[in-house]
Amino acid sequence: MNNRLKVLRAERDWTQADLASALEVSRQTINAIETGKYDPSLPLAFKFARLFQLQIEEIFSDR
């Protein structure tokens, strides 16, 4: 699973910590997801989508 989080953050000039606090998760969670260590849970994927106002599929991709 890869994702566009780094780009979406850059477009907004947000740090990983900024994004983490917007989503109420730890900075390490953001880092781990961004660097592909693991996938977010579905509820967290929904939070990303809501925050960025995008479909989950526009942020995360299966292959």
Partner DNA sequence: TCATTAAGTAAAACACACTTTACAAAAATA
Partner DNA sequence: TATTTTTGTAAAGTGTGTTTTACTTAATGA
Residue 19: Cβ-neighbour burial (10 angstroms; 0-12, 13-18, 19+): buried
Listed ranges 10-18, 19-27, 55-63: which one lies at the site for a copy of itself (CB under 8 A): 55-63
Contacts of 62 (CB under 8 A, 6+ apart): 1
Would you call 60 helix, strand, or coil by DSSP?
Answer: strand
Please say which residue, 29 or 59, places its beta carbon nearer to DNA.
29
Q: Which two tokens stand for residue 29?
A: 């969670």
Provide, rounded to whole angstroms, the least separation between the CB of residue 13 and a copy of itself: 26
14-53 residues in contact with a copy of itself (CB under 8 A) are: 39-43, 45-46, 49-50
Please say which residue, 28 or 58, places its beta carbon nearer to DNA.
28
